Amino acid sequence: MATFKLIEYQDASPEVRAVYDDIMATRKIDWINNFWKAIAHDPATLKRTWESIKQVMAPGALDALTKELLYVAVSVTNNCSYCIASHTASARKKGMTDAMFHELQAVIGMANETNKLVTGYQVEVDEQFKVTLDK
């Protein structure tokens, strides 16, 4: 049960609509998903979060699909159902095949396992990994 009733486009303030419009234009879609409609109750957070997401998720040194896969990896590790559903869908739209999905999940599972083996055995960092780069 959501904390607040979702704010639909027709009920939104001009400030909120401007963000909704930019989301739809940037993503080339004609609807807004619930996350934005929920945080729209706090227009400052809506705007800040959208602008951050827009900047961070834009293709750069990493392509857009890789970034979605990373988002899924974090969301699964954090066990955020909404985020898993939405970013799995986004990743598919950006070209994730079933084979990629399976390998993604296998890596996430494996990483979670070895993270804990390392921790449980209290393994100390190898000198070879203690590298501080100058630039």
129 near a copy of itself, judged by CB under 8 A = yes
* Residue numbers 2-61 binding a copy of itself by CB under 8 A: 2-5, 31, 33-35, 38-39, 41-42, 44-45, 48-49, 52-53, 55-57, 60-61
Smallest gap from Cβ 21 to a copy of itself, in A, equals 19
* Residues from 97 through 116 that contact a copy of itself (CB under 8 A): 97-116
Residue whose CB is less far from a copy of itself, 21 or 115:
115
On the 0-12 / 13-18 / 19+ scale of CB atoms within 10 A, 16 is: buried
Whether the Cβ atoms of residue 128 and residue 97 lie closer than 8 Å to each other: no
Q: How far is the CB of 23 from a copy of itself (least distance, A)?
A: 13
Q: Any idea how long the chain is? A: 135
Neighbours of 71 (CB within 10 A): 20
Distance CA 118, CA 132 (A): 22
Residues 66-85 that bind a copy of itself (CB under 8 A): 66-67, 69-85
Two tokens, residue 109: 């599972």
